[in-house]
Chain A
Amino acid sequence: MKQKYLPLTATILIFLLSYALCVAQYPNMLSTRVIGNLLTDNAFLGIAAVGMTFVILSGGIDLSVGAVIAFTGVFLAVVLEQTGIHPLAAFALVLAITTLFGAVMGAIIHHLEMPAFIVTLAGMFLARGMAFVLSIDSIPIKHPFYATLKSLYFKLPGGGRITLIGGLMLLVFAIGILIAHRTRFGTNVYALGGGTATAKLVGVPVASTTVRIYALSGLLAGLSGIVFSLYTSAGYSLAAVGVELDAITAVVIGGTLLTGGSGFVAGTLVGILIQGLIQTYITFDGTLSSWWTKILIGLLLFAFILLQKGIIRLSRNGRQPA
Chain B
Amino acid sequence: MQTSSDNILSAVRIEKGFPGTKALDKVDFHLRRGEVHALLGENGAGKSTLIKCLTGAYRRDGGSILLDGAEVDPRDTFDAQRLGIGTVYQEVNLLPNLTVAENLFLGRQPRRFGMVDTRTMNRKARELLAEYELDLDVTRDLASFSVAIQQVVAIARAVDLSGKVLILDEPTASLDAHEVAMLFRIVRRLKARGLGIIFITHFLEQVYEISDRITVLRNGQLVGTRDTSDLSRRDLIAMMIGRELAAEIHSARTEVAEGRLRYRFRNYGRRGRINPFDLDVRAGEVVGIAGLLGSGRTETADVLFGAHRADSGTAEIDGQTVDLSSPRAAIRQKFGFCPEDRKTDGIVGDLSVRENIVLALQARRGWTRPISRAEQNRLADQYIRALDIRTPDREKPIKLLSGGNQQKAILARWLATEPEFLILDEPTRGIDVGAHAEIVRLIESLREKGLSLIVISSEIEELVAYSTRVVVLRDRTHVAELGGDRITAHQIVEAIAAANEREAS
B77 within 8 A of A: yes
Which residues of chain B have C-beta atoms less than 8 A from A202's C-beta? 93-95, 103, 106-107
B98 within 8 A of A: yes
Closest to B148 in A: A322
Contact A322 B179 (CB under 8 A): yes
B182 within 8 A of A: yes
Q: Quick one: which of A193, A203, A320 contacts B97, CB cutoff 8 A?
A: A193
Task: For the complex, give the distance between the alpha carbons of A182 and B97 in Å.
Answer: 16
| B interface residues, how many (CB within 8 angstroms) | 30
Return A281 CB to nearest CB of chain B, in Å. Answer: 35
B400 within 8 A of A: no
B277 within 8 A of A: no
Closest to A199 in B: B95
Q: Given A203-B107, A204-B107, do A194 and B144 touch, yes or no (CB 8 Å)?
A: no
With most chain B CB atoms within 10 A of its CB, the pick from A178, A193, A202, A315 is A202
Restricting to A39-73, which residues have a CB under 8 Å from any CB of B?
none
Return B20 CB to nearest CB of chain A, in Å. Answer: 27
B376 within 8 A of A: no
Which residues of chain B have C-beta atoms less than 8 A from A3's C-beta? 141, 144
With most chain B CB atoms within 10 A of its CB, the pick from A3, A187, A193, A204 is A187
Which residues of chain B have C-beta atoms less than 8 A from A193's C-beta? 97
Task: For the complex, give the distance between the alpha carbons of A194 and B94 in Å.
Answer: 9
Contact B149 A322 (CB under 8 A): yes
Contact A319 B109 (CB under 8 A): no
Restricting to B450-505, which residues have a CB under 8 Å from any CB of A?
none
Which residues of chain B have C-beta atoms less than 8 A from A194's C-beta? 95-98
Closest to B118 in A: A182
B374 within 8 A of A: no
B115 within 8 A of A: yes
Return B455 CB to nearest CB of chain A, in Å. Answer: 29
Contact A187 B141 (CB under 8 A): no
Return A117 CB to nearest CB of chain B, in Å. Answer: 21
Return B146 CB to nearest CB of chain A, in Å. Answer: 4
Which residues of chain A have C-beta atoms less than 8 A from B102's C-beta? 187, 190
Task: For the complex, give the distance between the alpha carbons of A202 and B154 in Å.
Answer: 10
Task: For the complex, give the distance between the alpha carbons of A321 and B98 in Å.
Answer: 19
What per-residue 1/0 map shows which CB atoms of A1-32 lie under 8 Å from chain B? 01110000000000000000000000000000
B231 within 8 A of A: no
Q: Given A184-B116, A202-B103, A204-B107, do A191 and B144 touch, yes or no (CB 8 Å)?
A: no
Q: Given A184-B109, A202-B106, A204-B107, do A191 and B146 touch, yes or no (CB 8 Å)?
A: no
Task: For the complex, give the distance between the alpha carbons of A2 and B146 in Å.
Answer: 17
A interface, by DSSP: helix, strand, loop or mixed? helix
Contact A198 B141 (CB under 8 A): no
B132 within 8 A of A: no
What per-residue 1/0 map shows which CB atoms of A199-242 lie under 8 Å from chain B? 10111100000000000000000000000000000000000000
B369 within 8 A of A: no
Contact A183 B116 (CB under 8 A): yes
Q: Quick one: which of A4, A198, A262, A318 contacts B94, CB cutoff 8 A?
A: A198
Task: For the complex, give the distance between the alpha carbons of A319 and B143 in Å.
Answer: 7
Task: For the complex, give the distance between the alpha carbons of A186 and B96 in Å.
Answer: 16
Contact A187 B144 (CB under 8 A): no
With most chain A CB atoms within 10 A of its CB, the pick from B106, B118, B148, B182 is B106
Task: For the complex, give the distance between the alpha carbons of A199 and B78 in Å.
Answer: 13
A123 within 8 A of B: no
Closest to A321 in B: B146
Which residues of chain B have C-beta atoms less than 8 A from A320's C-beta? 144-146, 149
What per-residue 1/0 map shows which CB atoms of A115-151 lie under 8 Å from chain B? 0000000000000000000000000000000000000
Return A279 CB to nearest CB of chain B, in Å. Answer: 33
Contact A178 B115 (CB under 8 A): yes
A298 within 8 A of B: no
Which residues of A line the B interface, CB within 8 A?
2-4, 178, 181-184, 186-188, 190-191, 193-195, 198-199, 201-204, 261-262, 315, 318-322
9 interchain residue pairs of minimum CB distance: A194-B95, A261-B97, A194-B97, A182-B115, A322-B148, A322-B146, A201-B93, A203-B107, A191-B95
Which residues of B line the A interface, CB within 8 A?
77-78, 81, 93-98, 102-103, 106-107, 109, 111, 114-116, 118, 140-141, 143-146, 148-149, 178-179, 182
